[in-house]
Amino acid sequence: MPSFAIRQEVQERYNVDRRHIYDWFHSKGLRVTKEDKRATVELKTDAMRLNV
């Protein structure tokens, strides 16, 4: 599975819901790794800290 940044870029470029992106990659047999999930959570946590 491509990194979060790449998936986010695809989502923004083509104005596609992220669930469709995940479904497409899953149909190709790709999955999100635990490391990528952890990085995504950390990015969201950092973003929430900045907004407070």
- In the numeric block, the tokens 């973003």 are attached to 47
Q: What is the mean pLDDT of each run of 10 residues along the chain (52 residues)?
A: 84 91 86 64 62 54
**Predicted local distance difference test score (pLDDT) of residue 18:** 87
φ, ψ (nearest 5 deg) of residue 48: -65, -35
**Predicted local distance difference test score (pLDDT) of residue 3:** 81
**Predicted local distance difference test score (pLDDT) of residue 35:** 61
pTM: predicted TM-score of the whole model, two decimal places: 0.52
